[in-house]
Structure 1
Amino acid sequence: MVKNKLLNLACGAYGRSIQSLNLLSESVPSLFLRLILAYEFGEAGYEKLYGENWFSEINFPFPFGLIPPEINWQIATYVELIGAVALLVGFATRFFSISLIILTIVAIITVHWPSQWSTLNELWAGYRIIDTEGDGFGNYKLPIIYIVMFMPLLLGGAGKLSLDYFIQLKCAKHYP
Structure 2
Amino acid sequence: MKRIFSTSANKGLYHIALFIVRATVSVFMLVHGLQKLNMLLSGGPVKFPDPLGVGITNSLTLAVFAEVLCSIFIFIGLATRIVVFPLIITMFVIVFVVHGMDGFEVRELPSLYLLVYLFLLVTGSGKFSVDHFISRRDKYPAY
Alignment TM class, shorter chain as reference: 0.7 to 0.9
C-alpha distance in structure 1 between counterparts of 2:135 and 2:36, whole Å: 34
C-alpha distance in structure 1 between counterparts of 2:137 and 2:126, whole Å: 15
Q: How does 1:13-52 map to 2 (within 5 A)?
A: 22-51=10-39
Report which of the two structures shows the higher radius of gyration computed on alpha carbons.
Answer: 1
The runs of at least 4 aligned residues of structure 1 exceeding 3 Å deviation read none
C-alpha distance in structure 1 between counterparts of 2:60 and 2:125, whole Å: 27
- Structure 1 partner of 2:104: 127
Q: 2:126 is paired with a residue of what secondary structure?
A: coil
**TM-score of the aligned structures, taking structure 2 as reference length:** 0.81
C-alpha distance in structure 2 between counterparts of 1:151 and 1:80, whole Å: 15
C-alpha distance in structure 2 between counterparts of 1:51 and 1:110, whole Å: 22
Q: 1:141 is paired with a residue of what secondary structure?
A: helix
Task: Tell whether 2:142 aligns with 1:155.
Answer: no
C-alpha distance in structure 2 between counterparts of 1:26 and 1:164, whole Å: 16
* AA aligned opposite 2:68: L
Identify which of 98, 102, 106 aligns with 1:111: 98
C-alpha distance in structure 2 between counterparts of 1:85 and 1:59, whole Å: 24
Q: How many residues align?
A: 133
Structure 1, gaps ≥5 residues long: 1-9, 116-125, 129-138
Structure 2, gaps ≥5 residues long: 41-45
C-alpha distance in structure 2 between counterparts of 1:108 and 1:71, whole Å: 19
Identify which of 123, 128, 131 aligns with 1:164: 131
Task: Tell whether 2:47 aligns with 1:54.
Answer: yes
C-alpha distance in structure 2 between counterparts of 1:169 and 1:98, whole Å: 24
